[in-house]
Amino acid sequence: MNERDSMSRRRFVVGASGLALAGATGAAAAQTANKTNKKGSKLAIDGGAKTVKAKCSAKPRWGEPERKQLEAMLKQNSLFYWRGPQTKLLKERFHEFCPVKYVQTCSSGTAALHIAVAAAGIGLGDEVITAPVTDIGTVIGVLYQQAVPVFADLGKGTHNLDVSDVERRITPKTKAIIAVHLTGNPCDLDALKALADRHNLVLIEDCAQAWGAKYRGRPIGTVGHIACFSL
């Protein structure tokens, strides 16, 4: 493509966009004018009466329960959060819903996934199969460990990992699978766990978007080898 052609095409796009915008603006203006004529009133922005006259008032964000918790925390000898009484209570309540053997808190869901990848022994050049539709936190830990995220296809209607495609992407370098429970919808955990066991892989559950969800009557986070949550 020479410079003349490039400029011609650029001008064409700019001109066409301008015409489209003008057409849309004109249609919107005509529609507004028609509504004004039919109703015989102006928009509030043009001096007409407001449809909603009541003003929205912001409610207090924090209340008495939060104040008591803050005061109790300030009375502690230390605010070292991961060994404090608040964390202990969180772990106890977590166990009530998700009866896993070990629970450890950390600073974020992204940190949890990084810890899981490191605990699985993922290192330089290793491959981790996961979903292409997820938060960047799913792959940050993989990249930080100098490993390679491998994206498998998603199932129709679920947008979760297609187990068959996950199996097709397993190579001698594959060390783990990160199953992302997208928007509250659990993955096919039994099939993924069987696949991971068959190939001696670590199955990590990314539960950040699905706290409280269950898979065939079992809480997510109880099927894979490691599970990561986010609050």
How many Cβ atoms from other residues are within 10 Å of residue 135's Cβ?
16
Residue 228, pLDDT above cutoff 70:
yes
Residue type, 149: P
Separation CA 213–CA 29 (nearest Å): 48
Report pLDDT for 53.
85
* The predicted structure's pLDDT at residue 23: 53
Closest CA to 131 of 86, 179, 171, 90: 179
- Confidence class of residue 229 from pLDDT cuts 50, 70 and 90? very high
CA distance 101 to 95: 9
Q: Which residue has the higher pLDDT, 77 or 7?
A: 77
Question: Is the pLDDT assigned to residue 30 strictly greater than 80?
Answer: no
**pLDDT value for 21:** 47
Residue 205 or 20, more confident:
205
- Mean pLDDT (whole number) for 33-46: 68
| Residue pLDDT, tens place only, 164-194 | 999 999 999 999 999 999 999 999 999 999 9
- pLDDT, mean of residues 148-158: 95
How far is residue 144 from each of residues 123, 140, 164, 180, measured CA to CA in Å? 9, 6, 28, 19
16-30, 33-47, 81-95: lowest mean pLDDT where?
16-30
pLDDT (tens digit, 9 = 90+) per residue, 51-95? Answer: 888 888 888 889 999 999 899 888 888 777 777 888 888 999 999
Ranking 8-22, 151-165, 213-227 by mean pLDDT, the lowest is: 8-22
Residue 176, beta-bridge partner list: 128, 202
Domains of the chain plus CATH, in order, are 79-228 (3.40.640.10)
Looking at residue 11, what is its pLDDT?
60
pLDDT band with cut points at 50, 70 and 90 for residue 37:
very low
The pLDDT of 120-146, averaged and rounded, is 97
Q: In this predicted structure, what is the pLDDT of residue 18?
A: 55
